[in-house]
Amino acid sequence: MTTYFCDGLKEVTILNGVARLEFQRLESVQRGGNRELKPVTEVIVALPVNGFLGALTALDNVREKLAAQGAASPIAANAAPADKSPNFS
């Protein structure tokens, strides 16, 4: 099985009972004398809506456990996406 590393979720589209999740990674590109990060689609996952809702429930449980252990703080629903990939310093 292939493993994909993604920096974030770019877009979620629901159409005809299928949820399409488009994950992205940030890629370093050289522009002139500057390094910039460019979002690149890494993988697209399609799930039936019931499977998507089940995944949301499972992920919410993981988030709650991580927050209870102090490993992660709760993130506000309107929080801005990360502007820097942990892959690049």
C-beta contacts of 53-57 below 8 A and 24+ residues apart: none
Dist CA 89 CA 84 (whole Å) = 8
- H helices of the chain, in order, are 49-68
The answer to whether the beta carbons of residues 9 and 26 sit under 8 Å apart is no
Report the share of the chain in percent with pLDDT over 70: 81
Residue 24: count other Cβ atoms within 10 Å of its Cβ.
Answer: 19
pLDDT in tens, 3-12: 999 999 999 9
pLDDT in tens, 11-21: 999 999 999 99
pLDDT in tens, 42-65: 999 999 999 999 999 999 999 899
pLDDT exceeds cutoff 70 at 35: yes
> What predicted TM-score, i.e. pTM, was given to this entire model?
0.68
